[in-house]
Amino acid sequence: MKNYVSTRNPEVKATPAQAVLKGLAPDGGLFVPDDLDSIKVNMQAMMNMSYREMARVVFGLFFPDLGDKTLASILEKSYENKFDVPELAPLVPVSDSYVLELFHGPTCAFKDVALSALPNLMTASARHENFQKRILILVATSGDTGSAALTGFSNVEGTDALVFYPETGISQSQRLQMVTQPASNVRACAVKGNFDDAQRGVKEIFQEVEEPAEGVSLSSANSINIGRLVPQIVYYFNAYKSLLDRKAIKLGQEVSYIVPTGNFGDIFAGWLARAMGLPVGRLICASNENDVLTEFLNTGRYNKKRDFMRTTSPSMDILVSSNLERLLYFVCGPEKTARYMEELRTKGEYQLEEDDLLEIQGVFGCASVNSNESAEVINRVFRENNYLMDPHTAVAWGAMEKLVASGELKKDEAKVVLSTASPYKFSRSMLEALGQTGGESDHENMKKLQDYTGVKAPEALSSLFEKEVIHKDVIEAGQMKEYVIEAAEAGRRIRNGQ
């Protein structure tokens, strides 16, 4: 692979470093590799590697221009001493399946895996392109990306990060993780609206604003940035290796992955792993009540004209799953993808052709699990298996159970459920799922959950409540553009000592 191309027009090209720096393609499309055949790996060799070595192979295939030495140093900086377990993403047997715990990073959600690496990828890309401007990272978050991005970019030279989060709907702990960030180059701002409003605002700013202040360039840390997806490919391979090490499978045997899905980033990383040669059986897209993707994968109709539901798995409360566009590109080609995205924007829906749908259904399965069902799963799995899973993970677990019941997944095949957050990010919902009462204060809820379950809260979360609230701004979604320009100007003045 040499270049990235836009999902809407293969004539719009970028080198890997440029794709990471830009985030979104200039025509509004997303960057995808121009050639999937050249990203194949040797499975046998991969299975003898450590997590870091695997990451080096994967990064090397997607960012060949940065060079092996630079990539090695990026990986060292990104993962050394940042996760609270040496294996980064442990695979834990639960009942007759496996849970892939992706929440051992600094903000206790799987987004840390990518956002620990992205700032280093970005600064290396800037050096490689001899890019002189300061980079302002804009993020729209449904809860977890925000804190992971603010943490990842804290004090990273040459960058600032600005996160927009929905004023209501995220948990108290999630909010505190953002508004207490002390580094002077990062800030968080609440938006009156939901995640889709914030995401739409950010996308518009990317299309309308070239330079928010002199010498400042915008980039994205959302999963529309290819630099977010690539680090996530690695743990699909590593989970497979863990199954081999446990002798749960033989090399070549297919494994199904069940993924709690919002923006379709995590599961698309799984699709890329499959394209690279990982023996993936089914990729199961698990949704909550916001089951746009379940409808899409069943019928080929993507319809965002529906009520936005607030659920106990807020990081999946999304109606427009951006990364689906990348899958459409590979299945339908750029012309149809561009047309569907235009229809989605103007009519709020599009309908896939039958053949394309069948191709997608050949790999992807789906199920939706509502908040009551997810609570029941949390309760039952804790009682029967003494394993505490967060509400997002429980949606995936519940989806797996539904598909085993329907026969789409086999009871005795190897199945990996991706666990995307620590239960302690959602203490109140956890307590309620366990039949206890949760209160207004997440601090109290956290202690109560700890006492009740005997599972220790991660230090990163239990220490939140002593921290000072620094970021207090709340704005209307319509004011986001203005806010970004003001923030960029203010930053420029400070740097120039004016």
460 phi, psi to nearest 5 deg: -60, -30
Distance in Å, CB of 261 to ligand PLP, minimum: 4
Which residues bind to ligand PLP, rule: CB under 6 A? 109, 111, 144, 223, 260-266, 315-316, 392, 420-421
Q: How far is the CB of 101 from ligand PLP (least distance, A)?
A: 12
411 is catalytic: no
Find the shortest distance in angstroms from Cβ 377 to ligand PLP.
15
Largest CA distance in the chain: 67
If the CB atoms of residues 148 and 480 are measured against ligand PLP, the closer one turns out to be 148
Please state the closest distance from residue 266 (CB atom) to ligand PLP, in A. Answer: 4
User: Which is closer to ligand PLP, CB of 119 or CB of 265?
Assistant: 265
Q: How far apart are CA 232 and CA 112, in angstroms?
A: 10
Task: Give least dist CB 157 to ligand PLP, A.
Answer: 27
Shortest Å, Cβ 362 to ligand PLP = 20
Could you tell me how many residues make up the chain? Answer: 498
Question: Looking at beta carbons only, is 212 or 262 nearer to ligand PLP?
Answer: 262
Identity at 240, one-letter amino acid code = Y
Distance CA 393, CA 146 (A): 19
Say which of 22, 111, 415, 425 is annotated catalytic. Answer: 111
User: 273 or 487, CB closer to ligand PLP?
Assistant: 273
Nearest CA-CA partner of 163 in 193, 194, 192, 142: 142
- Nearest approach, Cβ of 427 to ligand PLP (angstroms)? 14
Nearer to ligand PLP, 15 or 263 (CB): 263
Q: Which residue has the tokens 């804190």?
A: 147
Block residue for tokens 């794709």: 19
For ligand PLP, the closer of residues 55 and 109 by Cβ is 109
What is the bridge-based pairing of β-strands 349-351 and 301-303?
antiparallel
Residue number, 20 or 213, with CB nearest to ligand PLP: 20
Give the nearest distance from C-beta 145 to ligand PLP in angstroms: 6
- Taking the least distance from each CB to ligand PLP, the nearer of 109 and 118 is 109
| Catalytic positions | 111
